[in-house]
Amino acid sequence: MSFLAEGSPVVLGSANPKKAAELVEILGSRIEVVPRPLEIPEIIEDADTFEGNARLKALAISEATSMAALADDSGLMVDALDGQPGVHSARYSGENATDSDNVSKLLAELVEAGAMSSAQRRARFHSVIVLRRPDGAEVVAKGTVEGTISLVPTGEGGFGYDPVFVPLEGDGRTFGEMTAAEKHAMSHRGRALEELVAQL
């Protein structure tokens, strides 16, 4: 891993505890990560692409800590909704939206759009991960998983839109019904992190 000096920890850019835990779980011992310092203020994610938002977060965290920073921006893109919620996935139903609020809005909008069959509910999760050193050098990795949106939420696992996302390469279960290991093996974030590690 020549991009990172041996023994150099990486600061996680995510303030979302569930996302941070997932990143740590997927990476295992391959990259030593430390949590984002609490004193770093919320970073305004106002780019219009996942990569733009990931770069904003990586830059802000790296500059604030003088350490390498790993930032992820991910989201769900639904064909019948013209790619929405996209970069607005976390705040789809408002600034202080819960996962349940966002899922409810998504399902209601699909019904309103007349998208009731699996073919009409095609979607994909996309993740972009940026690893930035304090000297400005960056590694960018991306991952995507294709799927459909279920009619109702199923499963208690994961977070975000996991209870309604059915990956095409799976067995018909939503990400919310899978174990963490099953989800990571095919998830957008898992794929992006594997690509990242391969580039180091």
Q: What is the DSSP letter of 170?
A: S
Angle between the 188-199 and 17-27 helix axes, to the nearest 10 degrees? 50
> How many Cα atoms within 13 Å fall on the side-chain side of residue 36?
28
d(CA 185, CA 183) in angstroms, rounded, equals 5
* Pick from 169, 172, 181: nearest CA to 150: 172
Query: ∠ CA(193), CA(197), CA(71), 5° rounding?
Result: 50
* Pick from 16, 52, 11, 28: nearest CA to 184: 28
For the chain, the straight-line distance linking the first and the last C-alpha, in angstroms and rounded, comes to 5
- Is 73 among the residues known to form the active site? yes
* Pick from 128, 121, 95: nearest CA to 107: 121
Say which of 72, 73, 99, 135 is annotated catalytic. 73
Q: How far is CA 85 from CA 38, 48, 51, in A?
A: 28, 12, 16
Helix (H) or strand (E) holding 104: helix 99-112
The residues annotated as belonging to the active site are 73
